[in-house]
């Protein structure tokens, strides 16, 4: 049974009004012997992450993997069937032949260990072409999100879930559930908190955006995604080390919280920006930064599509304020970080390094400009790439 925790009075209400809590501890909440003889399903890395995010309330109001009515409503109008804003279907896909044997309570496993269960209430066919076209805005198999969608099973299982334990893993010191992040925010007395989503090491432009936002609010939740990403993204362990050295020297400790976001990347651009914002509301955040090409990949999305898409909802529906920033860069003539709104100079004056170019310089052992990233961060990245050979 899913338990709903009442929200505190001082923080924004979770989406749906209450924070879902579906942790069920073996030996405390149920007898592990009850699991004997039940069918088992091995989860992918993404589905295991989704299980945690559902069960800890990060995906409130979802209490399980979505059914067909919610699935089609999310795809078609970016809302659950009851009208609640939601932009990306959170599904549990399996192969058709596998689905036939999965009925009632099914034990979910990951890495060879029992991690939770789903009470299967529904099975339905995935509409992959429709999902790709509407959610990812492309059916191009070169898109990593579309490729993952097409590779997964054709039947989705739906129903409420339980999680046996929070898998804090390699980043246990920074791994907090939404309820735990809310506790920190309350303990620090932050009346307003801005979250920053990143899957890359923080460079000076990111730092600029965060500190501009921190002038407006009480606290900053630096919330890097540490779930599955595409192969050429900087590994999570390297990114976390870079965040730690940066926060040590350049951020006010009492106004900054580093905590991991255990989701997998879908690279769904605008749709994923909404998902990232709504889930941060569930963590107790009042503001969320959306910059240039949030959650994008390649050239599939317009530069500011991820900002424009929020107009589909009223501010009251979102329940979190979106801070929209333009592309930020170092101008050699201005001598500082600027944006097109504040800089009069053309691109020949700007220092802009693509992720590809950064990786090329690191592999070649070349230094990164101090105007682009802090020396301490550059050193972490240089050492990581040197170890890779």
- The reply to whether 200 belongs to the active site is yes
- Integer angstrom CA distances of residue 206 from 43, 282, 338, 347, 374: 34, 23, 12, 19, 11
Tell me if residue 199 is catalytic.
yes
- Of 222, 218, 200, which is closest to residue 283 (Cα–Cα)? 222
Catalytic residue among 199, 266, 280, 374: 199
Q: Record the tokens describing residue 50, joined without a space.
A: 């989704």
Which one, of 41, 379, 121, 367, lies nearest residue 242 by Cα?
Answer: 379
Catalytic residue among 133, 168, 200, 359: 200
Show the tokens assigned to 386.
Answer: 């040197």
Q: What are phi and psi of 20, to 5 degrees?
A: -65, 140
- Say if residues 379 and 370 touch (Cβ distance below 8 Å): no
State how far the Cα of 226 lies from the Cα of 110, in Å rounded to an integer: 17
- φ/ψ (deg, to 5) at 213: -65, -35
Catalytic residue IDs: 199-200
């Amino acid at each position: 049974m899913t338990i709903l925790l009442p929200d505190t009075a001082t923080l924004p209400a979770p989406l749906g009004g209450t924070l879902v809590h579906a942790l069920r501890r073996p030996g405390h909440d149920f007898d592990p012997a009850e699991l004997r003889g039940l069918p088992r399903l091995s989860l992918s890395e993404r589905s295991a992450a989704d299980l945690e995010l559902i069960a800890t309330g990060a995906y409130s109001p979802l209490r399980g993997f979505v059914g067909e009515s919610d699935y089609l409503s999310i795809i078609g109008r970016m809302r659950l069937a009851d009208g609640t804003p939601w932009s990306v279907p959170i599904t549990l896909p399996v192969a058709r032949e596998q689905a036939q044997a999965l009925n009632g309570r099914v034990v979910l496993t990951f890495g060879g260990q029992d991690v939770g269960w789903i009470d299967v209430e529904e099975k339905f066919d995935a509409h992959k072409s429709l999902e790709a076209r509407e959610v990812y805005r492309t059916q191009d198999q070169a898109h990593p999100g579309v490729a993952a969608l097409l590779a997964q099973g054709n039947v989705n299982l739906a129903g409420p879930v339980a999680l046996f334990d929070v898998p804090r893993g390699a980043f246990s010191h920074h791994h907090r559930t939404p309820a735990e992040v809310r506790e920190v925010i309350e303990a620090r007395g932050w009346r307003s908190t801005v979250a920053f989503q990143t899957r890359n090491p923080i460079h000076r432009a990111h730092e600029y955006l965060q500190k501009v936002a921190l002038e407006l609010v009480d606290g900053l939740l630096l919330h890097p995604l540490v779930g599955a990403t595409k192969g050429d993204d900087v590994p999570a362990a390297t990114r976390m080390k870079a965040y730690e050295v940066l926060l040590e020297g350049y951020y006010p400790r009492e106004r900054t919280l580093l905590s991991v976001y255990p989701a997998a990347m879908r690279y769904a651009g605008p749709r994923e920006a909404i998902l990232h914002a709504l889930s941060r509301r569930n963590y107790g955040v009042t503001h969320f930064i959306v910059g240039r090409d949030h959650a994008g990949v390649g050239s599939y999305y317009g530069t500011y599509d991820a900002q424009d898409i929020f107009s589909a909802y009223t501010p009251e529906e979102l329940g979190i304020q979106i801070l929209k920033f333009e592309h930020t860069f170092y101008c050699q003539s201005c001598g500082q970080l600027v944006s097109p709104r504040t800089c009069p100079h053309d691109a020949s004056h700007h220092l802009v390094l693509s992720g590809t170019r950064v990786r090329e310089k690191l592999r070649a052992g070349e230094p990164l400009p101090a105007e682009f990233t802090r020396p301490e961060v550059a050193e972490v990245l240089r050492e990581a790439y040197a170890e890779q050979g």
